[in-house]
Structure 1
Amino acid sequence: TTPGQFDFDRGVWLVPPEGVKQLRSRVRTQGNEIPPYVMPLSVQAIAIVQRLMQLRARAARYLLVHRYEPQEMISENTLNTAISRMGYKGRLTGHGIRATISTALNEVGFVEEWIEAQLSHADTNQIRAAYNHAVQHSR
């Protein structure tokens, strides 16, 4: 994630389509015709991103940088280590947060299509069951 992807006036994070796994193949065939993936941001998320921007080094390309390479992004292992240190070792991973969010939103009745769109799932029927554990537990 680069700082230029955030539009604080509109309260959104504009993720380039090449940064969204399910859109990468379309980018190769359709190029610039694919718009960015729009992620609405809460007031709290905006405050966190703005604070991270204040703390990052001027030369850093990304919002969250690699520990030793300031032009590289943070590694998945760094995120997973932080989650472990917060007491979730063996119970949660960075990618696992997606399933947790899907389950929680489905349990409180959010519209399924909205959830799947925010997770950028192209084939919602197959992928939904993998992420939404509420469906599996309620059967």
Structure 2
Amino acid sequence: MKQDLKNYYLRLISIFTKVALQISPYLFLRSANIINLEWKEIDFDKKIIIRANKVKAREDFIIPLSQSVLDLLLYVKNFSYSNSKYFFPSNISKSKTMSKNTLNQAIKRLSFGDKILYHGFRATASTFLYEYKNIHKQDSEVIELCLDHRERNKVKAVYNRSLRLDDGRELMQWLSDFIDKLKRDK
């Protein structure tokens, strides 16, 4: 019965909400960053998102994209609205973003609401990345840059502006492969 209810709710959730939830473990963006994602911020050729971070540091945040994420973004592109600047628009108005509660409500409808909230994707990704540092071989700085956590030492931050994109790309691909393997082995 519980699985039937979950399948019913899956049919009710919009394709944009589904894909936003599907890419969230791979990207572990803040919910405001995912729901406000604009088409102009995705560079499919360079395999990156250049996100003007309006949430925290007010600086651009560059997110390397794994192949799994690119595949999902290209898939949802087939359903997009030509008159919407948002990658994940609202069901009510294509000129607006989905509600900040949409993702958490979808998680609840899928009966995971007592186990996780949207922000939990960030904590889970951070935990996995730190737990498996000896396997992926990236240091804490790269993990924190992928989480969009900036250097807090203001003097160091002035001199070190490196985004370590190659390392971030390797780390994001490693996490993507890790998630894909978990899904296959399920």
1:123: how far off? 5.5
Aligned ranges for residues 17-32 of structure 1 at < 5 Å?
A: 17=53, 19=54, 21-24=55-58
Which ranges of structure 2 fall in alignment gaps of 5 or more residues? 1-36, 154-186
2:49 equivalent in structure 1: 13
Is residue 112 of structure 1 aligned with residue 140 of structure 2?
yes
1:57-94 superposed Cα distances (whole Å, 9 cap, x missing partner)? 11122011112121111122111122223331121111
Is residue 97 of structure 1 aligned with residue 121 of structure 2?
yes
1:16: how far off? 1.7
Q: TM-score, normalised by structure 1?
A: 0.72
1:114: how far off? 1.2
Q: CA 1:39/1:5 → structure 2, altered by over 3 Å: closer, same or farther?
A: same
Higher RCO structure (Cα 8 Å, ≥6 apart): 2
Instruction: Confirm or deny: 8 A CA contact 1:105 1:115 kept in the other structure.
Output: yes
1:88 equivalent in structure 2: 112
1:107: how far off? 0.8
Aligned Cα root-mean-square deviation (Å): 2.0
Which ranges of structure 1 fall in alignment gaps of 5 or more residues? 25-33, 126-139
CA distance in 1, matches of 2:48, 2:102: 25
Aligned residue pairs: how many?
Answer: 113
2:49 partner SS: strand
Q: TM-score, normalised by structure 2?
A: 0.55
Instruction: Confirm or deny: 8 A CA contact 1:11 1:40 kept in the other structure.
Output: yes
Which of 29, 33, 40 aligns to 1:4? It is 40
Identity across aligned pairs (percent)?
Answer: 27
1:22: how far off? 2.7
CA distance in 2, matches of 1:124, 1:82: 34
